[in-house]
């Protein structure tokens, strides 16, 4: 007797062709997986997908029931409506892969579609690094979960997909919730706040005090990568052994002032909003396009961008 999974005649349908999808599609195809791209009607990506040589289908028109693995790589706030629009074509035991746990954690997609396997495979890298690590056989890790997948084939499908994507460390087995909360919190507490805006505020202060812009760029923007590389390469103990005495003393002095109870209270508030679902609700009806264009405008008009164009492109990693 055929198992349900043996009934699928097609392998992978990637939904969307944005940042992650481009890297996933290339990596999986290079790993000899059969990849089709599913796009919305009149998608602006249709010509690029064709140019890249991937078969394509239109989500609202074509049948998706024969694909064993659906990989949803569109913005997280679109997952629920996209799955709703194609759910009448779902097959029992189909795998739905997510590159971030957000939509399953907050919108309980696993409860809405209990006959499908909802699997997390979240690469811990931006899209360009997912492709670069694959091409160079460099280290790449991910977070994974099969907690919302009941079928026996899910674990094997996840293992194979991770390998074919180029995940060669782990993946770390976590819950959808832990991946979601961890990812959102670190973006807010450090990665997309303290690092870029700390660099900007530091640059602005040096400039205000008359330090040359070139010097300020190197110290505040370029050196972020050098420090981050050393942290990863050597670990915390060796990192703090390696930095100069002045850097050690100055860092300690600043730490006591910057990491005040106010900052720690802010961290508590940010985490509470993630945990309570307030942040998720705030994303509903939020005008991401407007925020993006405002932020891009702010950075386009800032000297750090000109200095990046002048100096940074020559010093760009790899």
Ligand X SMILES: NC(=O)c1ccc[n+]([C@@H]2O[C@H](COP(=O)([O-])OP(=O)(O)OC[C@H]3O[C@@H](n4cnc5c(N)ncnc54)[C@H](OP(=O)(O)O)[C@@H]3O)[C@@H](O)[C@H]2O)c1
Annotated catalytic residues are: 100
How, if at all, do strands 10-15 and 67-72 pair?
Answer: parallel
Tokens of 242: 């390696």
74 part of the interface to ligand X, by CB under 6 A: yes
- φ, ψ of residue 173 to 5 degrees: the values are -85, 120
What mask, x for binding ligand X by CB under 6 A, covers residues 106 to 125? ----------------xx--
For ligand X, give the closer residue by CB, 283 or 305: 283
Of 7, 126, 227, 264, the one binding ligand X by CB under 6 A: 126
For ligand X, give the closer residue by CB, 28 or 99: 99
CB of 30 to ligand X, least distance (A): 18
Residues contacting residue 11 through CB under 8 Å, at least 6 positions apart = 33, 34, 35, 67, 68, 69
CB of 43 to ligand X, least distance (A): 3
Of 13, 96, 99, 174, the one binding ligand X by CB under 6 A: 99
Window contacting ligand X (CB under 6 A); options: 71-79, 139-147, 154-162, 269-277: 71-79
Of 69, 100, 110, 199, the one binding ligand X by CB under 6 A: 100
Residues numbered 166 to 185 that lie near ligand X (CB under 6 A) are none
Query: How many C-beta atoms lie closer than 10 Å to residue 293's C-beta?
Result: 11
For ligand X, give the closer residue by CB, 19 or 296: 19
* 195-202 LR contacts (CB < 8 Å, sep 24+): 195/224, 199/224, 199/304, 200/302, 200/304
Tokens of 277: 């679902």
End-to-end C-alpha distance for the chain, whole angstroms: 53
Q: What is the DSSP letter of 302?
A: S
Residues numbered 36 to 55 that lie near ligand X (CB under 6 A) are 39-40, 43-45
Q: Count of residues binding ligand X (CB under 6 A)?
A: 23
Of 25, 35, 64, 73, the one binding ligand X by CB under 6 A: 73
217 part of the interface to ligand X, by CB under 6 A: no
For ligand X, give the closer residue by CB, 76 or 93: 76
Alpha-carbon distance of 21 to 25, in angstroms, equals: 6
Alpha-carbon distance of 221 to 210, in angstroms, equals: 17
For ligand X, give the closer residue by CB, 290 or 314: 290
Distances (CA, A) of 195 to 11, 93, 163: 40, 43, 32
Q: Which residues bind ligand X (CB under 6 A)?
A: 16-21, 39-40, 43-45, 73-76, 78, 82, 99-100, 122-123, 126-127
């Amino acid at each position: 007797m055929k198992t349900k999974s043996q009934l699928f005649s097609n392998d992978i349908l990637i939904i969307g062709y944005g940042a992650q999808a481009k890297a996933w599609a290339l990596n999986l195809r290079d790993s000899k997986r059969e990849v089709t791209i599913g796009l919305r009607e009149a998608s602006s990506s249709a010509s690029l997908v064709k140019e890249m040589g991937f078969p394509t289908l239109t989500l609202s028109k074509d049948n998706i029931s024969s694909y064993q693995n659906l990989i949803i790589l569109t913005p997280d706030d679109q997952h629920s409506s996209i799955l709703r629009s194609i759910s009448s074509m779902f097959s029992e035991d189909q795998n739905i892969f997510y590159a971030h746990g957000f939509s399953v954690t907050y919108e309980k997609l696993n409860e809405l579609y209990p006959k499908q396997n909802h699997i997390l495979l979240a690469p811990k890298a931006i899209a360009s690094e997912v492709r670069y690590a694959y091409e160079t056989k460099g280290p790449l890790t991910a977070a994974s979960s099969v907690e919302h997948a009941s079928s026996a084939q899910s674990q094997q499908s996840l293992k194979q997909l991770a390998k074919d994507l180029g995940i060669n460390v782990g993946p770390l087995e976590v819950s959808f919730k832990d991946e979601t909360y961890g990812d959102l919190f670190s973006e807010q507490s450090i990665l997309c706040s303290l690092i870029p805006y700390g660099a900007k505020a530091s640059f602005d202060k040096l400039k205000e005090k008359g330090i040359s812009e070139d010097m300020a760029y190197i110290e505040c923007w370029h050196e972020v990568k050098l420090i981050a590389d050393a942290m990863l390469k050597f670990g915390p103990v060796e990192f703090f052994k390696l930095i100069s005495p002045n850097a050690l003393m100055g860092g300690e002095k600043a730490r006591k002032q910057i990491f005040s109870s106010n900052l720690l209270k802010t961290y508590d508030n940010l985490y509470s909003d993630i945990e309570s679902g307030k942040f998720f609700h705030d994303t509903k009806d939020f005008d991401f396009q407007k925020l993006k264009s405002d932020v891009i405008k702010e950075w386009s008009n800032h000297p750090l961008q000109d200095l990046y164009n002048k100096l940074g492109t020559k010093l760009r990693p790899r």
